[in-house]
Protein backbone atom coordinates (compact mmCIF):
# COMPACT_ATOMS: atom_id res chain seq x y z
CA UNK A 1 0.00 0.00 0.00
CA UNK A 2 1.26 3.47 -0.91
CA UNK A 3 -1.12 6.02 0.56
CA UNK A 4 -2.81 5.25 3.86
CA UNK A 5 -5.41 7.39 5.56
CA UNK A 6 -6.05 6.24 9.09
CA UNK A 7 -8.72 7.59 11.42
CA UNK A 8 -8.45 11.05 9.94
CA UNK A 9 -10.67 13.75 11.44
CA UNK A 10 -10.92 17.39 10.37
CA UNK A 11 -12.83 19.56 12.78
CA UNK A 12 -13.51 23.29 12.49
CA UNK A 13 -14.88 25.53 15.21
CA UNK A 14 -18.53 24.63 14.73
CA UNK A 15 -18.60 21.63 12.42
CA UNK A 16 -16.71 18.50 11.47
CA UNK A 17 -15.81 18.22 7.79
CA UNK A 18 -14.28 14.72 7.91
CA UNK A 19 -15.07 12.06 10.53
CA UNK A 20 -12.80 9.09 11.12
CA UNK A 21 -11.85 8.52 7.50
CA UNK A 22 -9.96 5.36 6.55
CA UNK A 23 -8.80 4.10 3.19
CA UNK A 24 -5.69 2.92 1.43
CA UNK A 25 -4.50 3.25 -2.14
CA UNK A 26 -2.01 0.88 -3.74
CA UNK A 27 0.67 1.97 -6.13
CA UNK A 28 -0.47 2.32 -9.74
CA UNK A 29 -4.17 2.13 -9.04
CA UNK A 30 -6.97 4.57 -9.76
CA UNK A 31 -9.01 5.37 -6.68
CA UNK A 32 -12.31 7.24 -6.73
CA UNK A 33 -13.54 9.43 -3.90
CA UNK A 34 -17.22 10.01 -4.42
CA UNK A 35 -19.77 12.01 -2.51
CA UNK A 36 -22.10 14.97 -2.81
CA UNK A 37 -21.04 18.58 -2.56
CA UNK A 38 -19.89 19.24 1.00
CA UNK A 39 -19.13 15.56 1.64
CA UNK A 40 -15.53 16.39 2.57
CA UNK A 41 -13.75 15.42 -0.65
CA UNK A 42 -11.82 18.66 -1.17
CA UNK A 43 -10.93 18.82 2.54
CA UNK A 44 -9.56 15.28 2.30
CA UNK A 45 -7.52 16.21 -0.79
CA UNK A 46 -6.14 19.27 0.94
CA UNK A 47 -5.11 17.23 3.95
CA UNK A 48 -3.34 14.72 1.72
CA UNK A 49 -1.61 17.62 -0.05
CA UNK A 50 -0.59 19.08 3.30
CA UNK A 51 -2.50 22.29 2.56
CA UNK A 52 -4.52 21.66 5.72
CA UNK A 53 -3.63 19.76 8.85
CA UNK A 54 -5.90 16.94 10.06
CA UNK A 55 -7.28 17.50 13.56
CA UNK A 56 -6.37 13.91 14.36
CA UNK A 57 -5.39 10.71 12.57
CA UNK A 58 -2.52 10.15 10.20
CA UNK A 59 -1.81 10.21 6.50
CA UNK A 60 1.24 8.32 5.28
CA UNK A 61 2.97 7.67 1.98
CA UNK A 62 4.96 4.44 1.93
CA UNK A 63 4.91 4.57 5.71
CA UNK A 64 6.29 8.11 6.01
CA UNK A 65 4.13 11.04 7.11
CA UNK A 66 2.73 12.76 4.02
CA UNK A 67 4.10 16.15 5.08
CA UNK A 68 7.65 14.82 5.00
CA UNK A 69 7.68 13.61 1.38
CA UNK A 70 9.08 15.48 -1.60
CA UNK A 71 6.38 17.93 -2.76
CA UNK A 72 7.26 17.26 -6.38
CA UNK A 73 5.98 13.71 -6.07
CA UNK A 74 2.49 15.17 -5.91
CA UNK A 75 0.26 16.57 -8.63
CA UNK A 76 -3.06 18.31 -8.11
CA UNK A 77 -5.89 19.54 -10.29
CA UNK A 78 -8.24 21.70 -8.17
CA UNK A 79 -11.99 21.51 -8.59
CA UNK A 80 -12.32 25.16 -9.60
CA UNK A 81 -10.88 25.82 -12.99
CA UNK A 82 -8.15 28.35 -13.31
CA UNK A 83 -4.67 29.07 -14.54
CA UNK A 84 -2.65 32.24 -15.03
CA UNK A 85 -4.94 34.15 -17.38
CA UNK A 86 -2.23 36.42 -18.78
CA UNK A 87 0.29 33.67 -19.55
CA UNK A 88 0.51 31.85 -22.86
CA UNK A 89 -0.34 28.14 -22.88
CA UNK A 90 3.21 26.95 -23.51
CA UNK A 91 4.72 29.51 -21.13
CA UNK A 92 2.36 28.29 -18.43
CA UNK A 93 3.35 24.64 -18.81
CA UNK A 94 7.06 25.51 -18.88
CA UNK A 95 6.61 27.53 -15.69
CA UNK A 96 4.96 24.65 -13.83
CA UNK A 97 7.56 22.19 -15.16
CA UNK A 98 10.40 24.43 -14.04
CA UNK A 99 8.80 24.95 -10.65
CA UNK A 100 8.62 21.17 -10.26
CA UNK A 101 12.36 20.88 -10.84
CA UNK A 102 12.29 19.63 -14.44
CA UNK A 103 15.03 20.33 -16.94
CA UNK A 104 14.28 22.37 -20.05
CA UNK A 105 14.61 19.39 -22.45
CA UNK A 106 12.37 17.20 -20.32
CA UNK A 107 9.73 19.94 -20.19
CA UNK A 108 9.86 20.42 -23.93
CA UNK A 109 9.36 16.70 -24.55
CA UNK A 110 6.39 16.48 -22.21
CA UNK A 111 4.81 19.76 -23.35
CA UNK A 112 5.03 18.75 -27.03
CA UNK A 113 3.57 15.32 -26.30
CA UNK A 114 0.62 16.46 -24.20
CA UNK A 115 -0.23 19.56 -26.24
CA UNK A 116 -0.49 17.35 -29.28
CA UNK A 117 -2.41 14.64 -27.47
CA UNK A 118 -4.97 17.13 -26.16
CA UNK A 119 -5.27 18.77 -29.59
CA UNK A 120 -3.96 22.15 -28.42
CA UNK A 121 -1.26 22.58 -31.10
CA UNK A 122 -2.83 25.70 -32.57
CA UNK A 123 -3.35 27.26 -29.16
CA UNK A 124 0.11 26.84 -27.70
CA UNK A 125 1.03 30.50 -28.19
CA UNK A 126 -2.37 31.88 -27.14
CA UNK A 127 -2.98 33.55 -23.82
CA UNK A 128 -4.86 31.28 -21.42
CA UNK A 129 -7.68 33.79 -20.93
CA UNK A 130 -8.54 33.62 -24.65
CA UNK A 131 -9.12 29.86 -24.58
CA UNK A 132 -12.49 28.16 -24.22
CA UNK A 133 -13.34 26.76 -20.78
CA UNK A 134 -12.70 23.20 -21.94
CA UNK A 135 -9.31 24.08 -23.40
CA UNK A 136 -8.32 25.98 -20.24
CA UNK A 137 -9.19 22.87 -18.30
CA UNK A 138 -6.99 20.74 -20.54
CA UNK A 139 -4.05 23.14 -20.03
CA UNK A 140 -4.59 23.07 -16.28
CA UNK A 141 -4.74 19.30 -16.34
CA UNK A 142 -1.44 19.03 -18.24
CA UNK A 143 0.07 21.49 -15.76
CA UNK A 144 -0.96 19.22 -12.89
CA UNK A 145 0.97 16.18 -14.17
CA UNK A 146 3.62 17.66 -16.49
CA UNK A 147 6.29 16.68 -13.95
CA UNK A 148 5.15 13.03 -13.87
CA UNK A 149 4.24 12.93 -10.19
CA UNK A 150 4.11 9.63 -8.31
CA UNK A 151 0.70 10.54 -6.96
CA UNK A 152 -1.88 12.59 -8.83
CA UNK A 153 -5.05 14.02 -7.34
CA UNK A 154 -7.77 15.14 -9.74
CA UNK A 155 -10.73 16.98 -8.22
CA UNK A 156 -13.70 16.68 -10.59
CA UNK A 157 -11.56 16.38 -13.73
CA UNK A 158 -14.51 15.62 -16.01
CA UNK A 159 -16.83 18.47 -15.14
CA UNK A 160 -17.31 20.94 -17.96
CA UNK A 161 -15.82 18.70 -20.67
CA UNK A 162 -17.72 17.68 -23.79
CA UNK A 163 -17.94 13.93 -24.62
CA UNK A 164 -15.00 14.06 -27.05
CA UNK A 165 -12.72 15.75 -24.54
CA UNK A 166 -13.99 13.48 -21.78
CA UNK A 167 -12.74 10.50 -23.79
CA UNK A 168 -9.40 12.23 -24.38
CA UNK A 169 -9.07 12.74 -20.64
CA UNK A 170 -10.12 9.18 -19.83
CA UNK A 171 -7.47 7.82 -22.21
CA UNK A 172 -4.89 10.15 -20.70
CA UNK A 173 -5.69 8.94 -17.17
CA UNK A 174 -5.33 5.33 -18.28
CA UNK A 175 -2.01 6.15 -19.95
CA UNK A 176 -0.75 7.78 -16.75
CA UNK A 177 -1.80 4.69 -14.84
CA UNK A 178 0.15 2.51 -17.28
CA UNK A 179 3.19 4.66 -16.55
CA UNK A 180 2.84 3.69 -12.89
CA UNK A 181 1.19 6.81 -11.53
CA UNK A 182 -1.16 6.42 -8.56
CA UNK A 183 -4.29 8.45 -9.15
CA UNK A 184 -6.98 9.64 -6.75
CA UNK A 185 -9.92 11.42 -8.23
CA UNK A 186 -13.38 12.64 -7.41
CA UNK A 187 -16.31 12.89 -9.75
CA UNK A 188 -20.02 13.43 -9.77
CA UNK A 189 -20.29 11.42 -12.97
CA UNK A 190 -20.50 7.87 -11.75
CA UNK A 191 -20.07 6.30 -15.17
CA UNK A 192 -16.56 7.77 -15.29
CA UNK A 193 -15.77 6.43 -11.83
CA UNK A 194 -17.13 3.02 -12.79
CA UNK A 195 -15.06 2.89 -15.97
CA UNK A 196 -11.79 4.03 -14.41
CA UNK A 197 -11.64 3.11 -10.74
CA UNK A 198 -10.29 -0.04 -9.21
CA UNK A 199 -11.24 1.01 -5.70
CA UNK A 200 -13.36 3.76 -4.24
CA UNK A 201 -14.54 5.44 -1.10
CA UNK A 202 -18.08 6.68 -0.70
CA UNK A 203 -18.34 9.78 1.49
CA UNK A 204 -21.42 11.32 3.05
CA UNK A 205 -21.08 14.44 5.19
CA UNK A 206 -17.55 13.57 6.12
CA UNK A 207 -18.34 9.95 6.99
CA UNK A 208 -17.07 7.05 4.89
CA UNK A 209 -20.00 4.80 3.96
CA UNK A 210 -17.89 2.35 2.03
CA UNK A 211 -14.28 1.87 1.15
CA UNK A 212 -12.98 -0.94 -1.00
CA UNK A 213 -13.21 -2.43 -4.47
CA UNK A 214 -16.03 -1.48 -6.79
CA UNK A 215 -16.96 -5.11 -7.23
CA UNK A 216 -17.23 -5.60 -3.47
CA UNK A 217 -19.55 -2.62 -3.25
CA UNK A 218 -21.72 -4.03 -6.00
CA UNK A 219 -21.69 -7.48 -4.41
CA UNK A 220 -23.07 -5.94 -1.23
CA UNK A 221 -26.19 -5.13 -3.19
CA UNK A 222 -26.11 -8.33 -5.27
CA UNK A 223 -27.49 -8.78 -8.77
CA UNK A 224 -30.82 -7.16 -8.08
CA UNK A 225 -31.35 -5.20 -11.28
CA UNK A 226 -33.42 -7.10 -13.79
CA UNK A 227 -34.12 -5.72 -17.27
CA UNK A 228 -36.75 -7.53 -19.36
CA UNK A 229 -38.62 -6.99 -22.59
CA UNK A 230 -42.04 -8.66 -22.37
CA UNK A 231 -45.67 -8.27 -23.34
CA UNK A 232 -46.74 -8.48 -19.71
CA UNK A 233 -48.22 -5.40 -18.05
CA UNK A 234 -46.49 -3.39 -15.32
CA UNK A 235 -49.22 -4.26 -12.81
CA UNK A 236 -48.60 -7.99 -13.30
CA UNK A 237 -44.84 -7.57 -12.80
CA UNK A 238 -45.26 -5.58 -9.58
CA UNK A 239 -47.31 -8.40 -8.06
CA UNK A 240 -44.60 -11.02 -8.62
CA UNK A 241 -42.75 -12.48 -5.63
CA UNK A 242 -39.39 -10.81 -4.85
CA UNK A 243 -40.06 -7.65 -6.88
CA UNK A 244 -39.44 -4.41 -4.96
CA UNK A 245 -40.00 -1.87 -7.70
CA UNK A 246 -40.80 -1.71 -11.43
CA UNK A 247 -39.92 1.11 -13.80
CA UNK A 248 -40.81 1.34 -17.46
CA UNK A 249 -38.06 2.61 -19.71
CA UNK A 250 -39.23 2.86 -23.33
CA UNK A 251 -40.14 -0.75 -24.39
CA UNK A 252 -38.40 -2.35 -21.42
CA UNK A 253 -39.08 -2.84 -17.74
CA UNK A 254 -36.40 -2.41 -15.11
CA UNK A 255 -37.19 -4.41 -11.99
CA UNK A 256 -35.48 -3.99 -8.65
CA UNK A 257 -35.46 -7.32 -6.81
CA UNK A 258 -35.34 -7.88 -3.07
CA UNK A 259 -32.66 -10.50 -3.69
CA UNK A 260 -31.07 -12.05 -6.78
CA UNK A 261 -32.41 -15.48 -5.75
CA UNK A 262 -35.90 -14.42 -6.89
CA UNK A 263 -34.69 -14.01 -10.51
CA UNK A 264 -35.13 -17.65 -11.52
CA UNK A 265 -38.77 -17.74 -10.39
CA UNK A 266 -39.49 -14.53 -12.29
CA UNK A 267 -37.80 -15.95 -15.42
CA UNK A 268 -40.05 -18.99 -15.30
CA UNK A 269 -43.18 -16.84 -15.10
CA UNK A 270 -42.14 -14.31 -17.74
CA UNK A 271 -40.65 -16.75 -20.32
CA UNK A 272 -43.11 -19.62 -19.77
CA UNK A 273 -40.58 -21.92 -21.45
CA UNK A 274 -40.70 -19.83 -24.63
CA UNK A 275 -38.12 -17.62 -26.35
CA UNK A 276 -37.65 -14.26 -24.63
CA UNK A 277 -36.03 -11.27 -26.34
CA UNK A 278 -34.39 -9.76 -23.25
CA UNK A 279 -33.89 -11.01 -19.69
CA UNK A 280 -30.81 -9.45 -18.13
CA UNK A 281 -29.80 -9.73 -14.46
CA UNK A 282 -27.11 -7.24 -13.37
CA UNK A 283 -25.45 -5.58 -10.46
CA UNK A 284 -26.77 -2.10 -9.71
CA UNK A 285 -24.87 0.67 -11.45
CA UNK A 286 -22.64 2.82 -9.26
CA UNK A 287 -25.00 5.70 -9.94
CA UNK A 288 -27.90 3.72 -8.48
CA UNK A 289 -25.89 2.60 -5.47
CA UNK A 290 -24.73 6.19 -4.93
CA UNK A 291 -28.29 7.49 -5.01
CA UNK A 292 -29.37 4.73 -2.67
CA UNK A 293 -26.57 5.46 -0.22
CA UNK A 294 -26.44 9.25 -0.16
CA UNK A 295 -29.75 10.18 -1.77
CA UNK A 296 -33.07 10.46 -0.05
CA UNK A 297 -32.00 13.32 2.17
CA UNK A 298 -30.30 15.59 -0.33
CA UNK A 299 -29.47 19.02 1.02
Partner 1 sequence: MNKLGILVSQLYKQKIRSKSFILMTLLYIAIISVVMFWTEISSLFKGEDEALQIALIKETDVNLGQIFVSNEEIEFSYHTKDVKTNMYEQVKDGTLDAVIVFSDENKNLKAEIATFSPLELNDQSEISSLIQYAGKIYAIQSMNLSAQEAEQILNSEPIITSISLNEAGTEGKSEDQKQSGIWVSYLVGIVIYFFISAFLSMITTDVASEKGSRALEMLLVSVKPSTHFQSKLFGVFLLALTQFAILFGVIFALLRFTDGGTKWDMVTSLVQDLSYSYVFYVIVFLFLTIFLFLIIGALFGSLVSKVEEAGQVMMPAIMITLVGFYVMISGMANPDTLLIKIFSYIPLTSGMVMPMRIAATDLNTIEPIISLILLIVTVIAFYTLSLSFYKRSVLTYSSGGVIQKIKSVLKFTT
Q: How far is the CB of 128 from partner 1 (least distance, A)?
A: 9
Q: How far apart are CA 214 and CA 240, in angstroms?
A: 30
- Between 76 and 290, CB nearer to partner 1: 76
Q: How far is the CB of 52 from partner 1 (least distance, A)?
A: 7
Q: How far apart are CA 10 and CA 16, in angstroms?
A: 6
- Between 106 and 260, CB nearer to partner 1: 106
Cα radius of gyration rounded to whole Å, the chain: 23
φ, ψ dihedrals at 149, nearest 5°: -70, 160
- Between 151 and 262, CB nearer to partner 1: 151
φ, ψ dihedrals at 238, nearest 5°: -60, -35
- Between 80 and 251, CB nearer to partner 1: 80
Q: How far apart are CA 76 and CA 152, in angstroms?
A: 6
Q: How far is the CB of 14 from partner 1 (least distance, A)?
A: 8
- Between 94 and 283, CB nearer to partner 1: 94
Q: How far apart are CA 170 and CA 118, in angstroms?
A: 11
- Between 111 and 255, CB nearer to partner 1: 111
Q: How far is the CB of 131 from partner 1 (least distance, A)?
A: 13
Q: How far is the CB of 176 from partner 1 (least distance, A)?
A: 16
- Between 12 and 275, CB nearer to partner 1: 12
Q: How far apart are CA 78 and CA 69, in angstroms?
A: 20
Q: How far is the CB of 241 from partner 1 (least distance, A)?
A: 54
φ, ψ dihedrals at 213, nearest 5°: -80, 155
- Between 32 and 75, CB nearer to partner 1: 75
Residues belonging to the chain? 299
Q: How far apart are CA 84 and CA 233, in angstroms?
A: 59
Q: How far apart are CA 178 and CA 235, in angstroms?
A: 50
Residues near partner 1 (CB under 8 A) are 12-14, 46, 49, 51-52, 71-72, 74-78, 80-87, 95-96, 98-100, 140, 143-144
Contact between residue 74 and residue 153 where contact means Cβ atoms under 8 Å apart: yes
Q: How far apart are CA 161 and CA 217, in angstroms?
A: 28
Q: How far is the CB of 188 from partner 1 (least distance, A)?
A: 18
- Residues of the chain by 3-state class (helix, strand, coil), percent to 5: 40, 30, 35
Contact between residue 254 and residue 227 where contact means Cβ atoms under 8 Å apart: yes
Contact between residue 2 and residue 27 where contact means Cβ atoms under 8 Å apart: yes
Q: How far is the CB of 96 from partner 1 (least distance, A)?
A: 7
Amino acid sequence: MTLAIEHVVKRYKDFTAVKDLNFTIDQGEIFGLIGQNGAGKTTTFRMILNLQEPTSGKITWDGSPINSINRDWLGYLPEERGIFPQMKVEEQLYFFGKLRGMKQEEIKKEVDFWIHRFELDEKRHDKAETLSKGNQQKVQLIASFIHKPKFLILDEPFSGLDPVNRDLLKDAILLLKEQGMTILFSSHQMDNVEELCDHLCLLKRGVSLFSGSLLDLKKQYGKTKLTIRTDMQKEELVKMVGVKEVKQERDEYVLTLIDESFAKGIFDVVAKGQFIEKFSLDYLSLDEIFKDQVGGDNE
